[in-house]
Structure 1
Amino acid sequence: MSTLPDFEGWAIFAKVAQRGSFSRAAEELGLAKTTVSKAVARLEARMRTNLFQRTTRKLTLTESGRQSLARATRILSDGAAIEADIIEETVSPRGLVRLAALSAMGIEIIAPALPEFLERFPDIEVDLVLTDNQVDIVAEGFDAAVQLEGSGASTLRSTRLWTLRRPLVAAPSLIERLGMPQGPEDLTRYPAVVASHIPDAMEWTFAHQNDAGGAPHHAEPISVRVQPRYRANHADAMIPALVNGVGIGVIAEYFITPHLKDGRLIELLPEWSVPPRPIYLVTPPGRARPARVRVLLDFLQEKLAHEVLVNQERRQG
């Protein structure tokens, strides 16, 4: 057996696994399908095990294939990054970036910002996929994902981008009808508008805020289980119900800042806070990133930092 690993074979294997097809992998790599098939067969002969289970309709990884995928993906991404960094010395970053993002954030922040990015980098293409499910960035072939949780896999890289403040809000009409709550315990008597795609959406936990930097009034958080009157799996679909007094709700601040400013919504129990939700940027394993991916990630961090400042100024204003 050769002492030099079959780097080309492993890179081709990773691309086939990402695309779930020899034909699609060959098309993306600019190779003949037979070349791709032979590379995977060569690996399987070398490893003396199958990496894929093949049927006429479906291509799935075997256990050996699943165990190999993360490291094979690193070979593919590191090789692409090496070439991209060299090319970047003479030309601008170029190529396709596949980005997965939370639907709400993708619609409100990322999608509106992308035209500026594409104008700044005319040789880069972006494939933005919006989802409220946690994606497997390696298996699904994404360059990065913006999501609510960090990486559970030790081989992936997670960077905390932003923290979402989530105030408790209601329409003035609802408060006129039911009265102002005096503490979290009162919330059980109010109808609620909840985010159905968030785990434990009907149980809200509150911590008391410090008074002028002093000790909190309540050392222990208070959890309440609310009664949903309306559920939706997207923040934009929750806002009309909140504004029209259907119920109280906990929702990310950047969705409702204009409604708080014009008085269509008011913040309830401002001395209490629901734990903020961190937003993470997750990328595949390996230290090297292609230039096209690196500049997009830098751009997103810049935009998210700007959103934080804008929201702070709006609250103070």
Structure 2
Amino acid sequence: MSKRGWIIYNGNLYTKKFAEQIKWLRKTAETFDFEIDVIANNQLLVAMEEGCARILTEKQKPDFVFFWDKDLFLARQLEEQGVRLFNPAKAIEICDDKALTYLQLANHGIRMPKTIIAPKVFVSLEDDSHLGQVIEILSFPMVIKETFGSFGEQVYLIKNEQQLRQKAKELQHKPHLFQEYIASSYGRDVRLNVVGDRVVAAMLRKSDQDFRANVTAGGKMYRYQPTEEEEKLAVRCSQIVGADFAGVDLLFGENDEPILCEINSNAHFKNIYDCTGVDITKDMMAFIKETITE
């Protein structure tokens, strides 16, 4: 008997780029004999009635959900109702918040840039005395990252104290962190796509104009054969955050040793396909089928 699944996407982010990938996912899923419904998150409202939480839908509960969104309230409620999510809600939460990502990976021997999480500000930044410690530990240049951001956006290279204080004032109550600048990795990084316990595709991203290597920031893509050390690091990081699938980004240290940059739970697959010819949707659906039929 075929298994029933939902692909959940964000109903307010249905651009041509997203729509193409949703159709791609559905087509691949159907080749694995899954009965698939594609549903926007705003068509599955989480409600509380008479002291009980439920999802407002007439649809039959699926055997699994490919959760290609970051709507954590919906994700958690689906799990409360016994639905297996790929990725789980907790993994999505950790990966979506860069500060949580680094905290989760801390104390596991993972090589990461030195990172300081900005203290919480409710309304406006009135006391920036913490920046003195930030300068002492990280020096310049340094990187500021908003904890919520994608495609290399909300990431800033800070070259001096004036820029630091100005950017901290601009961000104020927005969650952000301060991070060591890895000069040896200027304009280049590696994206490794992990499915389960293995790396299924990898690409090198390089930019000659920007310290960020993201394609949306002007970076170019190249086929890449990861080292055994890079593969082990990517898989271990993915497993520590509890992800079934992840796009793990690694920086290059002074001796080209891999340094964890970030983990993406909802990594897009078109760029990696265009670069390598590897269709990771097949690996993901094969993993789902193996997992739910065990």
Structure (1 or 2) with the greater strand fraction: 2
For normalisation by structure 2, the TM-score amounts to: 0.28
Q: Choose between structure 1 and 2 for higher RCO, CA contacts under 8 A separated by at least 6 residues.
A: 1
